[in-house]
C-alpha cells in the first residue's frame, strides 16, 4: 500500500449531477464534500501520466503500460487539518438551540429495545418492520443550521465508545460556537489583517462546512478571443482551509504498473482543472482501528450492540439497505467476517446524487448514494464483534454495482467506522 497526501491549491469544483450547458445564465453547482471517485480518478490519471511519459490524455490511457490502470484501488479521502483527521458528523446526533440560554445542544438518537414482534411501520415493501426498533428523541427540536459538519478523530473515537453524554457535547459545542460564530469570524479576519496571531490552539474538535465560492465567467469567441455578448455563466467551488489535506491509500498491485519514485507533482483535481499538490507519504496508522476502540469492543461482549458510521457515501443496491440483509433484516457472515448481524435501526438522511465522467464513455449515470454520516445500529447475534470491527475499519461496505463504469469499492465509497451503542432503556447513564 502507498499513501498519498493531496494539498489543494485552487478552490475545488466537485460537480453534482445537474446539467451544465453553454447557455446564458448557466450555473455549475458543486457538492459540499470531495467525492471519492473524484480523488480516485485524479490519482489514476496522475499515475498514468507518470507511467506513460509525455503525451495527450488519449495517448496516456492507450499506453501499453496503462491498460489496467482502472484496477488501481483507492481508499479515501480522509480530511486532515493541522495534523488531525476529521470525519463527517454522524446522523445519530441532531443540533438545536435552547430557548432560554441560546446554547447549542445535541439530541442523541438511540433505538428503544422492544419485545419480539413489536416493530413499527417503516419504509419496507410490506410496510412493517417487526425487527426494527423505534428511535427515541428523534427530531423533537427545531434543527439548527449553523452547526459543525466534521468532528475530530479523537472525539469520534470517544463517541463510538459510547462515552459522551449530552453534557459533554454541550461543553465542547460552547467552545466551538465561541470560535465559529459570525462575530468571532469577523474578529479573526480583522486580526489577521493586522498580522496578529489569532489561533493558539493546535486543533479544533469540530469544523464547519467548507465555504462555497461563486465566480462569474463569460464565454469567449474562438476567433477573436473576445467576450461573447450576453454569455455570462457562474461556477461554484469549495474553498478548503489553507492547512487542509486529503489523504488516500493506493493499491497498485492489480494494475501492474510501477510506483513513481519520490512522488511530488502538481496535478488537476475536480472540475475547471483546479490544481492540487500530490505527494507520497508513509501509510498512516489511522487506516487501522485504534486499540482503545478494539479494547472497548472486547470489553462489551455482554452488550452485543455495534453501530456503523459511513465516513464516505456508499452505494447499496437496495437503496438505503446493504445487499446482504434478508427479509428478516439479518446479515449472515456480514461482509465475510464470520459475524451475523441483526439490523435494529438506521439513521439515514435523504439520498445523495453522485455522477461523474468516464474518459472513454463520457458522462456517468446519476446514482443514489447513502450520504456520509449515516448510521446503522446492529445487534450481534453470532460471532465476535471485534473481528468485524478490526477487519472492516475504514474499509468499503458498498455493494457491487452492475454498471460497468462504476467502481464504488475501488474508488473509496462506503468507508465505514464502527463503534458501540446501548439501547435507551438499557442506558444506565440516562438519556
Same domain, 236 and 292: no
Q: Are residues 217 and 78 in the same domain?
A: yes
- CATH number of the structural domain spanning residue 397: 2.60.40.4350
Instruction: Please give the model's pTM, rounded to 2 decimal places.
Output: 0.86
**pLDDT at position 187, please?**
56
Do the beta carbons of residue 114 and residue 133 sit within 8 Å?
yes
What is the model's pLDDT at position 330?
92
Comparing C-alpha atoms, which of 3, 17, 5, 13 is closest to residue 354?
17
DSSP H helices in 132-229? 153-160, 166-180, 182-193
> What is the rounded end-to-end Cα distance, in angstroms, of the chain?
43
* 400 and 295 in a common domain: yes
What residues form DSSP beta bridges with 352?
Answer: 369
129, part of any domain: no
> Of 206, 231, 252, which marks where a domain is finished?
206
Residue 332: predicted pLDDT: 93
Cell digits of residue 12: 475545488
pLDDT tens-digit map of 305-355: 999 999 999 999 888 999 999 888 899 999 999 999 999 999 999 988 887
Q: Is 178 exposed, middle or buried (0-12, 13-18, 19+ CB in 10 A)?
A: exposed
Same domain as 389, residue 250: no
From CA 265, how far away is CA 10, in angstroms rounded?
Answer: 15
Q: Which domain-ending residue is among 206, 237, 254?
A: 206
**Number of other residues whose CB lies within 10 A of the CB of residue 91:** 18
pLDDT of residue 170: 87
- 81, 221: one domain: yes
Looking at residue 121, what is its pLDDT? 47
Judgement on whether residues 74 and 214 belong to the same structural domain of the protein: yes
The verdict on 17 and 58 lying in the same domain is yes
Q: Is the same domain home to 279 and 173?
A: no
Residue 307 sits in which domain range? 287-426
Q: How high is the pLDDT of residue 134?
A: 74
Co-location of 296 and 364 in the same domain: yes
Identify the pLDDT of residue 392. Answer: 94
pLDDT at 62: 62
Give a yes or no: residue 333 inside a domain: yes
For residue 363, being part of any structural domain is answered with yes
- End of a domain among 249, 268, 283? 283
Closest Cα partner for 40 from 31, 52, 48, 30?
48
Q: Which H or E run contains 349?
A: none
Establish if 422 belongs to a structural domain.
yes
Q: What is the mean pLDDT of each run of 10 residues along the chain (431 residues)?
A: 92 80 76 91 88 61 67 92 94 84 80 66 53 66 80 94 88 83 55 47 77 85 82 85 92 84 90 89 87 89 87 92 90 93 91 74 77 94 92 92 68 94 63 40
Residue 357 forms part of a structural domain: yes
DSSP-derived secondary structure letter, 6: E
Structure confidence at residue 50 (pLDDT) = 85
Residues 157 and 49 in one domain: no
Contact 166/108 with Cβ under 8 angstroms? yes
Structural domain count, the chain: 3
List, as own/partner pairs, every contact residues 280-286 make where C-beta atoms lie below 8 angstroms and the sequence separation is at least 24, other chains included.
280/2, 280/3, 280/4, 280/5, 281/3, 281/4, 281/5, 281/247, 282/3, 283/1, 283/2, 283/3, 283/249, 284/3, 284/247, 286/78, 286/85, 286/153, 286/394
Examine the domain organization and report whether 165 and 238 are in the same domain: no
φ and ψ at residue 247, rounded to 5 degrees? -110, 140
User: Does residue 8 lie in a domain region?
Assistant: yes
Amino acid at each position: 500500500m502507498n499513501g498519498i497526501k493531496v494539498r489543494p491549491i485552487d478552490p475545488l469544483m466537485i460537480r453534482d449531477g445537474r446539467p451544465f450547458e453553454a447557455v446564458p445564465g448557466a450555473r455549475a453547482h458543486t457538492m459540499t464534500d470531495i467525492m471519492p471517485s473524484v480523488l480516485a480518478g485524479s490519482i489514476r490519471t496522475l499515475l498514468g501520466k507518470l507511467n506513460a511519459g509525455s503525451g495527450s490524455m488519449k495517448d496516456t490511457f492507450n499506453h501499453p503500460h496503462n491498460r489496467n490502470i482502472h484496477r488501481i484501488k483507492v481508499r479515501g479521502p480522509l480530511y486532515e487539518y493541522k495534523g488531525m483527521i476529521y470525519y463527517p458528523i454522524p446522523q445519530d446526533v441532531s443540533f438545536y438551540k435552547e430557548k432560554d440560554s441560546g446554547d447549542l445542544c445535541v439530541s442523541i438518537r438511540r433505538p428503544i429495545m422492544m419485545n419480539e414482534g413489536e416493530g413499527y411501520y417503516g419504509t419496507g415493501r410490506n410496510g412493517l418492520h417487526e425487527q426494527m426498533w423505534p428511535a427515541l428523541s428523534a427530531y423533537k427540536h427545531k434543527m439548527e443550521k449553523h452547526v459543525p459538519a466534521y468532528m475530530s478523530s479523537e472525539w469520534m473515537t470517544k463517541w463510538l465508545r459510547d462515552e459522551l453524554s449530552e453534557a459533554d457535547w454541550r461543553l465542547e459545542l460552547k467552545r466551538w460556537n465561541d470560535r465559529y460564530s459570525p462575530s468571532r469570524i469577523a474578529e479573526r479576519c480583522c486580526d489577521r489583517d493586522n498580522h496578529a496571531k489569532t489561533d493558539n490552539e493546535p486543533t479544533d474538535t469540530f469544523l464547519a462546512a467548507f465555504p462555497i465560492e461563486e465566480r462569474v465567467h463569460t464565454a469567449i469567441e474562438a476567433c477573436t478571443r473576445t467576450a461573447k455578448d450576453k454569455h455570462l455563466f457562474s461556477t461554484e467551488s469549495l474553498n478548503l482551509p489553507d492547512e487542509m489535506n486529503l489523504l488516500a491509500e493506493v493499491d497498485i498491485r492489480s494494475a501492474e504498473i510501477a510506483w513513481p519514485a519520490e512522488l511530488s507533482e502538481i496535478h488537476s483535481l475536480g472540475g475547471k482543472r483546479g490544481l492540487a499538490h500530490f505527494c507520497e507519504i508513509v501509510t498512516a496508522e489511522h487506516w487501522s482501528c485504534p486499540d482503545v476502540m478494539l479494547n472497548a469492543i472486547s470489553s462489551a461482549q455482554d452488550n452485543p450492540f455495534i453501530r456503523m458510521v459511513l465516513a464516505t457515501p456508499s452505494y447499496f443496491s437496495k437503496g438505503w439497505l446493504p445487499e446482504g440483509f434478508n427479509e428478516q433484516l439479518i446479515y449472515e457472515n456480514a461482509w465475510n467476517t464470520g459475524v451475523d448481524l441483526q439490523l435494529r435501526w438506521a439513521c439515514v438522511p435523504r439520498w445523495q446524487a453522485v455522477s461523474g465522467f468516464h474518459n472513454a464513455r463520457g458522462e456517468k449515470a446519476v446514482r443514489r448514494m447513502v450520504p456520509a454520516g449515516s448510521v446503522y445500529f446492529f445487534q450481534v447475534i453470532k460471532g465476535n464483534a471485534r473481528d468485524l470491527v478490526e477487519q472492516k475499519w475504514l474499509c468499503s461496505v458498498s455493494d457491487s454495482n452492475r454498471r460497468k463504469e462504476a467502481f464504488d469499492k475501488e474508488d473509496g465509497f462506503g468507508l465505514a467506522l464502527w463503534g458501540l451503542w446501548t439501547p435507551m432503556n438499557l442506558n444506565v447513564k440516562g438519556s
